[in-house]
Amino acid sequence: MQHLNDDNQALESLLSKIGTWDPKKDNKLKYLFELISKTHPDKKILIFTQFADTVAYLQTELGKKGLEYFSGVTGKSEDPSNLVWKFSPESNNAKNKINPNEELRILIATDVLSEGQNLQDCSIIINFDLPWAIIRLIQRVGRVDRIGQRAENILAYSFIPADGVEKIIKLRSRLAQRLSENAEVIGTDEQFFEDGLNKEQMKDLYNEKAGVLETETDTEVDLSSYAYQIWKSAISANPDLEYKIKKLPDVVYSTKMGSKSQNFHNGVVVYIKAPDDTDSLALIDDKGQIITQSQHDILKLAECSINTPAMPRLDNHHDLVELAVKKIMEQNEHDGNSLGPKRKARHKTYMRLRHFMQNSVAEIVDREALNKAIEEIYMYPLQSVAEETINRQLRSGIGDKELADMVIVMSQEERLCAISDVPMDIEPRIKCTLGLIGQ
């Protein structure tokens, strides 16, 4: 009892020093209002907070600022579904159930809405404060980033604690300590935070930058996506490159000095298109051993500027290319036959849906449509947009049924696979190769 009295006195002392809260000095409120009224004045916006009191506070203060067509929902709300329909009528098939004049542009909510609701009319999420559990951030975005979402991009804004507050509450260190204590109790060896996680990585984490806490395997970016970023940067800096590069023939090759950090003497980077049109990239050393197929690592080693001088071709360049192609194709066949490597979206999706088809009969609404989509994935490569969408959903932890529903819709709308009447190549195509000379 004495401890409670001490805490009460400490809180009363703190309140007397701080005084009455003045919303006019609330910078977070100020920036929030600018974000929803100036940055995105016509967009539907979903604002999440952990606390029902904060929902009430924001409702009151934003109303005073003249904001219209908004509401708040908490666990104590009498009819959350009605507010969801007013906010996101199209994704809930509720257009005919609400008065158009009552449709909401902004909804302020606790995590009562982060699960089990369709909110796809909205594509902008604001985390007004940060949840204790990181999974909540993923669940919040998952409410809008699902089947029925028409926006090309989902925007997620997060207000992170001020530096002074972080120094006092030590959120990260306290969380790490609790995880460590939990590991001692249950015997887990999972590592949630690297010792070297710095301030920028923390910002990336709470802004939901993909892969900040993932393992090396999971952070592999699809070759098409990563290469496209490099391509856009290159042609933006030098527009003439676009014409020159597009005119280059297949099997083109060059050689450059390697990096001082490379752990091999000489080697060749090989980029091929497999018969099913999937991309493969590998680095083989001058002893004929595949060093890595990590797209990120290889592209880093191959990186150069337009002024990087070309070097004489290695004597065994073409022999190494031939050997690398054979090893790549053997590995692809071992990993998944015509489905390509196991880490790819096509292989992961096929295996998950086939297992779902065999073991979850009761959950499958349209078995015939799902079977058709699975066969399509087996026969043809994914369209680039489909691959990107599926990868994003796989990273966010999409369930098997939701994955099946999404793939069925994409198949029916002819957005799933690149189906062609032209027979596929029997042999892989060598697109280009690059020799690396050790320093």
**pLDDT given for residue 276 in this prediction:** 63
The superfamily CATH assigns to domain 2-158 is: P-loop containing nucleotide triphosphate hydrolases (3.40.50.300)
Banded model confidence at residue 18, pLDDT cuts 50, 70, 90:
confident
pLDDT higher than threshold 90 for residue 79: no
**pLDDT given for residue 334 in this prediction:** 56
**pLDDT given for residue 335 in this prediction:** 52
* pLDDT one-digit tens code per residue, 25-37: 888 999 999 999 9
Which of residues 438 and 194 earns the better pLDDT score?
Answer: 438
Rounded mean pLDDT of 86-96? 88
Rounded mean pLDDT of 108-120? 79
**pLDDT given for residue 134 in this prediction:** 60
Rounded mean pLDDT of 146-160? 82
How many other C-beta atoms are found inside a 10 Å radius of the C-beta of residue 344? 24
**pLDDT given for residue 48 in this prediction:** 93
Dihedrals phi, psi of 52, to nearest 5 degrees: -65, -35
Rounded mean pLDDT of 57-73? 94
**pLDDT given for residue 333 in this prediction:** 60
**pLDDT given for residue 384 in this prediction:** 82
The residue with tokens 């004597």 is 315
Which of residues 344 and 30 earns the better pLDDT score?
Answer: 30
pLDDT higher than threshold 80 for residue 105: yes
pLDDT higher than threshold 50 for residue 220: no
Q: Give dist(CA 328, CA 280) in Å, integer.
A: 7
* pLDDT one-digit tens code per residue, 295-343: 778 888 888 888 899 999 999 999 999 999 988 877 766 554 567 667 7
* pLDDT one-digit tens code per residue, 396-433: 888 888 999 999 999 998 899 987 655 555 578 899 99
Rounded mean pLDDT of 48-68? 93
Global pTM value: 0.43
Which of residues 100 and 264 earns the better pLDDT score?
Answer: 100
Which of residues 337 and 5 earns the better pLDDT score?
Answer: 5
pLDDT higher than threshold 80 for residue 187: no
**pLDDT given for residue 436 in this prediction:** 93
pLDDT higher than threshold 70 for residue 183: no
- Maximum Cα interatomic distance, the chain, rounded to a whole number of Å: 84
Q: Give dist(CA 170, CA 384) in Å, integer.
A: 42
Percent of the chain with pLDDT over 90: 27
Domain ranges (residues) in the chain: 2-158, 163-206, 215-439
Least confident window among 7-16, 91-100, 169-178, 338-347:
169-178
* pLDDT one-digit tens code per residue, 357-385: 888 766 777 888 998 999 899 888 888 88
**Most confidently modeled range among 282-296, 346-360, 403-417:** 403-417
**pLDDT given for residue 198 in this prediction:** 47
